[in-house]
A and B are shown apart, each in its own frame.
Chain A
Amino acid sequence: AMSSGGTLSILRSDSYAELSQYRDQHFRGTRYDQERLLRKSCTLYVGNLSFYTTEEQIHELFSKSGDIKKVIMGLDKVKKTACGFCFVEYYARGDAENAMRYINGTRLDDRIIRTDWDAGFKEGRQYGRGRSGGQVRDEYRQDYDAGRGGYGKTVQCQ
């Protein structure tokens, strides 16, 4: 840092790499602990994947921002098949930040995917939390999504 300078707030702006409003309700610990972990995390949650998107595709895309330590596919709790989300863990936080800046909001398997900071993978978090075994969002949605099992679960049961 220069004694006569520093930088400007408009140039510090890094909105893509900021924390979102989402907080995992199942997190064990205080809000403060959670945010501290989110701010130094190297792990991203990735959502809106197609059920058919493979670990290999995810690895290829997310490697564009740095070396990946691990990909953990999200699974339907009952069927143990992919249910449209995953975790991507990098070795370096900077690489995860670049994924937030440049891969979040772009397409994988023709779908706009969404990334968000994750406090860190814990066993059990690879499963969907919806009643039927998949993700909550697939329980109640009304639209038809060919890449995510068709209609939402409640619609299917009608």
Chain B
Amino acid sequence: MSRRRHSDDSDAGQPHKRRRTSEPSEIEERLESLICRVGEKSNSSLESNLEGLAGVLEADLPNYKSKILRILCTVARLLPEKLTVYTTLVGLLNARNYNFGGEFVEAMIRQLKECLKVNMYNEAVHLVRFLSDLVNCHVIAAPSMVAMFENFVSVTQEEDVPQVRCDWYMFAFLSSLPWVGKELYEKKDAEMDRLLSQTESYLKRRQKIHVPMLQVWTADKPHPQEEYLDCLWSQIQKLKKDRWQERHILRPYLAFDSVLCEALQHNLPPFTPPPHTEDSVYPMPRVIFRMFDYTDDPEGPVMPGSHSVERFVIEENLHCIIRSHWKERKTCAAQLLSYPGNNKIPLNYHIVEVIFAELFQLPSPPHIEVMYTTLLIELCKLQPGSLPQVLAQATEMLYMRLDTMNTTCVDRFINWFSHHLSNFQFRWSWEDWSDCLTQDLEKPKPKFVREVLEKCMRLSYHQRIIDIVPASFSVLSPANPVCIYKYGDESNRSLPGYTVALCLTIAIKNKASNDEIFSILKDVPNPNQDDDDGEGFSFNPLKIEVFVQTLLHLAAKSFSHSFSALAKFHEVFKMLAESDEGKLHVLRVVYEVWKNHPQMIAVLVDKMIRTQIVDCAAVANWIFSSELAHDFTRFYIWEILHSTIRKMNKHVLKIHKELEETKARLARQHKRRDSDDDDDDDDRSTDREDGPLEEQIERLQEKVESAQSEQKNLFLVIFQRFIMLLTEHLVRCETGGIDVFTPWYKSCIERLQQIFLQHHQIIQQYMVTLENLLFTAELDHHILAVFQQFCALQA
């Protein structure tokens, strides 16, 4: 006997039932809108808008104080690009209402603690910066801010904590100084000097093994790829040398100085950083991406130097704008272009640099790659006379530096550039890049051009690509993506299996059933005579060859045709590919038929995994097989491998989710039963009710474990194969006395790094196994270094 619960208001289907009075939420919306819009383009000055808004909010305080507090705390957390606008607003409110100022500061501290508890470190930094700027607005007393920073810096003295934890507190302190350094130094110079000296010694002793793994280029010229804390430290040191004079940040509060300095300040309560726990996950370290300096735009305003604090502030703000508006590409582009200081800084260059910084960020970009392509197109639309030229200049620079660019970043460059070109009729001055034609095809520049042309072809068609490049580039043009059918020509009739292939072709064209196919295939002899068990269904490579070649050839017309073929003859595939060798051979034949059409190979492999004709481990082994050695450094191979790993990961998550949901259902069932007035404690009926669900949970538990085991195995296979391949190369080079660092080697070792970086969360679970089984001390130091760099990322 179950009772319907009264909390059924949560029915998603009838939202209109909820609100009784619309007024309070309307007012909250209006307040939120007023607050969010201040600082946008307006007929009145920012100062008068702030003054007006402060008056409105002050009047609303008696009735809507908690709502106003919530909104202001939220903008502090989520709109850091408008930091000084809102600190000024809070300053004005504090001047008018001291208690409100105090309550706001308390609410901010509560919010900061919550953020740190739930690992929201980016937002926590915004809150710390906001608090520090409140010192400039006479809301918070400088000494109490210094005290908070002292507690932050003392985290570096904690023992047995990850370095990334100390890094964050250091970053929160240093990155607030552009805003408040001057004020804090004026009031507490001795304490600040002490903090800065402690900072310096921490930065000197912290380890930086992880840095090479995160650098976009391996070369230091023309711009060094600095670790983010090192760069920030240089910027703060320079700021201090300039006596904390900072001229870029817009400070509306300066206009209100006379009002604000009358205000009473609050002291921050003593802030103890929450302790490190097992659940703490700190931000990954970063490397600062730089591609431009003042020499790149000789006509325009001077670009602030790499160690200037202005550069830091501009980049921070532009990144924040993208983070705020990533879903709305037109708004995002408009907001980026209306960043203040347009005539004093080469804004287009900053924007392009920041966008590429995100696109090339390792391990992964903050947002989906395609967003950046479309954002750049929107920017070109808004600034057609200037931005396309900056973008072309950037492309040229990136091309020039391909030799030292990390392979993963080259992948992203290829994807971006080909997609971008497809929006502009593939117009490009290819002749400017003819230098790559004289180089070995495996070198980064010709390789890049080949891959770009291949991607361009996928977005259009073969003849188009032939037409858009100069004739001299034909050596780099992609192959015509046609299928290669070995039994196609009469001249091949001496090939074993040729007659069966003909038979199959006719049968399939006549809509034969799976059974008819089986009986035709029975006649195919097995070259591995010993393995034939009479039934004819042990691993028979010739059978696989004849069937797969013929079927794929018949279905070659389109992806849909091929998918239908896989579906129709699924039974035959499953039988032929039952063993691990069978799976591998199917993949080999697919490659033989479609080696001119990598895109087709990728979609077929995807479909075969999803329909369980092959498994992920088979794909991994196939990729590292000698048959594919020729294509090993081609982009499509790694797209296939990473897609395979992602499918495996998603599969594990899906079953896990099912398990959790079923557990939740059982829990709800228990709850319902417990809340019933039924005193009839019939154990048997309880068991009967729970039985099916409990069985399901047990089955799902097994499924989860089996999937997790398959997932771990996949990674182990991949790492094992990498180690074998790289060791072979290293040994060969050493004995032959040749340089290890060939283009192939660079590509291969960076592909290994890419596995670690792209799937770091999953791989973290296997650290012990990896350390004990695969990445042991006996391993060549070149390979071990990659593992050590990875370990250093969250150390």
Contact = CB atoms under 8 A, between A and B. Distances in A.
Given A10-B36, A60-B599, A106-B377, A5 B458 contact: no
Contact of B328 (A16, A59, A103): A16
Contact of B559 (A11, A16, A56): A56
Q: How large is the interface on A (under 10, 10 to 19, 20 to 34, 35 or more residues)?
A: 35 or more
Contact of A8 (B36, B459, B461, B558): B36
Interface in B646-676: 646-647
Counting chain A CB atoms within 10 Å of each CB, the highest count among B75, B110, B327, B458 belongs to: B327
Interface string B601-623: 00100100000000000000000
B460 interface: yes
Contacts of B373: 64, 102
Interface in B60-106: 70-71, 73-75, 77-79
Given A56-B599, A73-B560, A7 B459 contact: no
A3 B66 CA distance: 12
Given A102-B329, A107-B423, A8 B560 contact: no
Contacts of A54: 461, 558
Contacts, number: 109
A67 B643 contact: yes
A108 B377 contact: no
Interface stretch (B272-280, B363-371, B723-731): B363-371
Interface residues of B, number: 53
Contact of B558 (A2, A6, A55, A61): A55
B74 A107 contact: no
A96 B13 CA distance: 23
A106 B460 contact: no
A4 B107 contact: yes
Interface in A1-53: 2-11, 13-17, 36
Contact of B329 (A3, A16, A71, A109): A16
A14 B328 contact: yes
A55 B560 CA distance: 8
A14 B114 contact: no
A15 B327 CA distance: 8
B58 interface: no
B774 to A, nearest CB: 29
A8 B120 CA distance: 17
Given A4-B107, A64-B419, A17 B368 contact: no
Nearest to B481: A56
B422 interface: yes
A73 B561 CA distance: 12
B480 interface: no
Interface in A53-78: 54-57, 59-61, 64-65, 67, 71-73
A12 B52 CA distance: 26
A71 B559 contact: yes
Counting chain B CB atoms within 10 Å of each CB, the highest count among A2, A7, A71, A103 belongs to: A2
Contacts of B560: 55, 71-73
A7 B75 CA distance: 9
A67 to B, nearest CB: 7
B328 to A, nearest CB: 6
Interface in B433-488: 455, 458-461
Contacts of B369: 64
B335 to A, nearest CB: 11
Nearest to A97: B327
A153 to B, nearest CB: 26
B70 A6 contact: yes
29 contacts: A2-B111, A2-B115, A4-B70, A4-B73, A5-B70, A5-B73, A6-B70, A8-B75, A9-B32, A9-B33, A10-B36, A11-B325, A13-B327, A13-B328, A15-B328, A17-B327, A54-B461, A55-B559, A55-B560, A56-B599, A57-B458, A61-B459, A64-B373, A64-B415, A98-B370, A101-B327, A101-B329, A101-B371, A108-B459
Top-5 shortest CB links A-B: A60-B458, A64-B370, A102-B374, A102-B370, A107-B423
Interface of B: 13, 29, 32-33, 36, 70-71, 73-75, 77-79, 107, 110-111, 114-115, 118, 120, 324-325, 327-329, 331, 368-371, 373-374, 377, 415, 419, 422-423, 425, 455, 458-461, 558-560, 599-600, 603, 606, 643, 646-647
